[in-house]
Chain A
Amino acid sequence: MPSRHNRFRFRRRGKHKTLICEPGKCITLDQLPEGCRATVIQNNNLITIERGLYLGAPITMLRNNDDEPNVIIAVGDARYALDRRIARTIKVRIT
Chain B
Amino acid sequence: MRNRPTIALAGNPNVGKTSLFNALTGSHQTVGNWPGVTVEHKSGICHFNNKVYEVIDLPGIYSLAGESPDELVARNYILNEKPDIIINLVDASNLERNLYLTVQLMELGAPLIMCLSMVDIAEQNGIFIDTEHLSSHLGFAVIPLILNKKFDITPILQKVEEYLSQPPVPSTIHYDEVVENHLENIRQIVLKAGLCVPEGEAFSCSEKDAASDTNDLVTKSRWLALKLIEGDKEISSLLSEEDRTLVEKERTAIAKHRGQEPAAVIADDRYAYIRGLIKDVVKRKGKRRQTFSDMVDRVVLNNIIGLPVFFIVMYLVFLIAVKLSQPCIEIINTYLGWLFVEQFGNLLTWLSVPHWLTYFLSEILGGGLVTIGSFVPPIFFIYISLSILEDSGYMARAAYIADKFMRKIGLPGKAFIPLIVGFGCTVPAIMATRTLEKPRDRVFASILTPFISCGAKLPVYTYLVMLFFPQRANIVIFGLYLFGIVMGILTGLLLKKTVFRSEPGNFVMELPAYHIPTINGIFMHTWHRLKSFLLRAGKTILLVIIVINILQLIQIPTGNRGEKTPLLELGGKLITPILQPMGIKNDNWPASVALISGLFAKEAIVGTLQGLYQNSGGKESLNYVASNIKEGFGSDASAIAYLIFILLYSPCAASLTMLFKEHGFKWMLFDFLYLTLLAWMVATLVYQILAFNTLSVVWFATIGVIFIFIYIILQSIGKKYAIKT
Contacts and interface: CB of A to CB of B under 8 A. Distances in A.
A70 B507 contact: yes
A48 B240 CA distance: 32
Given A43-B264, A81-B509, A72 B271 contact: no
Contact of B403 (A49, A50, A63, A70): A70
Interface of B: 62-63, 65, 67, 93-97, 100, 125, 127, 260-261, 263-264, 267-268, 271-272, 288, 291, 293-294, 297, 301, 303, 396, 399-400, 403-404, 407, 412-413, 437, 506-511, 513
Interface stretch (A1-9, A20-28, A52-60): A52-60
Given A50-B62, A52-B271, A77-B97, 10 more contacts: A43-B264, A48-B508, A52-B97, A68-B404, A70-B400, A72-B301, A72-B400, A78-B510, A81-B511, A82-B507
A65 interface: yes
A68 B506 CA distance: 14
B264 A51 contact: no
Contact of A44 (B67, B260, B288, B506): B260
Given A51-B510, A78-B94, A57 B263 contact: no
Given A63-B301, A76-B96, A81 B507 contact: yes
A33 to B, nearest CB: 16
Contact of A51 (B301, B399, B400, B508): B508
Nearest to B511: A79
A83 B62 CA distance: 18
A76 B271 contact: no
A83 B260 contact: no
A58 to B, nearest CB: 9
Interface in A54-95: 54-55, 57, 62-63, 65, 68-70, 72, 74-83, 85-86
Given A44-B260, A47-B67, A68-B404, A11 B303 contact: yes
B261 A51 contact: no
A57 B271 contact: yes
Most buried by A among B95, B97, B272: B97
A77 B509 CA distance: 14
B303 A55 contact: no
B293 A79 contact: yes
A80 B62 contact: no
A79 B62 CA distance: 14
A51 B271 contact: no
B506 A81 contact: no
Interface of A: 11, 43-52, 54-55, 57, 62-63, 65, 68-70, 72, 74-83, 85-86
Contacts of B95: 77
Given A52-B97, A72-B301, A76-B96, A85 B506 contact: yes
Contact of B264 (A11, A46, A81): A46
Contacts, number: 104
A4 to B, nearest CB: 18
Contact of A80 (B96, B509, B513): B509
Contacts of B96: 52, 76-77
Contact of B294 (A52, A68, A79): A79
Contacts of B506: 47, 83, 85-86
B568 to A, nearest CB: 52
B508 A82 contact: yes
Most buried by A among B264, B268, B510: B264
Nearest to A58: B288
B268 A54 contact: yes
Given A48-B508, A70-B413, A72-B301, A77 B267 contact: no
The 3 closest A-B pairs by CB, nearest first: A54-B271, A79-B511, A83-B506
A47 B71 CA distance: 12
A74 B511 CA distance: 10
B127 A77 contact: yes
29 contacts: A44-B261, A45-B264, A46-B67, A47-B437, A49-B267, A50-B62, A50-B63, A50-B65, A52-B97, A63-B301, A69-B404, A69-B413, A69-B507, A70-B403, A70-B413, A72-B400, A74-B294, A77-B96, A77-B127, A77-B288, A79-B297, A80-B509, A80-B511, A81-B413, A81-B509, A81-B511, A82-B507, A86-B506, A86-B508
Contacts of B510: 51, 78-80
B267 A83 contact: no
Contacts of A52: 96-97, 100, 271
A24 B263 CA distance: 28
Contacts of A77: 93-97, 125, 127, 288, 291
A76 B272 CA distance: 14
A49 B96 CA distance: 12
Nearest to B97: A52
Nearest to B261: A44
A55 to B, nearest CB: 5
Contacts of B100: 50, 52
Most buried by B among A43, A46, A75, A85: A46
Nearest to A11: B303
Contacts of B303: 11, 65
A81 B294 contact: no
A75 B412 CA distance: 22
Contacts of B94: 76-78
B508 A46 contact: no
Nearest to B68: A47
A35 to B, nearest CB: 11
A27 B508 CA distance: 20
A52 B508 CA distance: 12
Contacts of B412: 83
Nearest to B400: A81
A71 B694 CA distance: 55
A83 B271 contact: no
Nearest to A43: B264
A46 B301 contact: no
Contacts of A82: 507-508
